Amino acid sequence: MDLMKLLHFGRATFSHGIHPPEYKEPTNNAVIRRLPFAPEMILPLSQHFGKPSLPIVHEGQEVVRGEPIAKADGFMSVPLHAPATGIIKKIGLM
C-alpha cells in the first residue's frame, strides 16, 4: 500500500466528523449567572516543568484584577496576573 492510500484510508467513513447527541434540553433555557470569586485563592508560581515565576508584589499589597503579580524568569517560565482584586496574604513555597 502506498503512502497516499494510507493517508486517505478511512476518510470516507468520517467525512463530516463525529456528531454525538448534544443533550442541551436540561440547560437550554437556564439563566447564565456569574459565580462569586472564592474568598481566598492560592496561585502557584511554578505552573509546569519550567522555571518558577518571580513575584513582583509583596505581602500586604493590594492588587487589582489583571495586574501582573509575578514575572517570567527564564526559559519556559510564564508571568502571572491577579485573577481578582484583593490583598496578597502570603508569598512562599508550598
pLDDT of residue 54: 95
Whether residue 8 is contained in a domain is answered as: no
- Considering its fold, how many domains does the chain have in total? 1
Model's pTM, two decimal places?
Answer: 0.64
pLDDT value, residue 15: 64
Name, in order, each residue with C-beta under 8 angstroms of 52's C-beta and a sequence gap of 6 or more.
Answer: 45, 46, 73, 77
Residues of the chain with pLDDT under 50: none
Q: How far apart are CA 74 and CA 72, in angstroms?
A: 6
Q: What is the pLDDT of residue 9?
A: 59
* Domain that includes residue 62, residue range: 41-94
Reported as a single tens digit per residue, the pLDDT across 9-30 is 555 555 677 778 888 888 889 9
The predicted structure's pLDDT at residue 58: 96
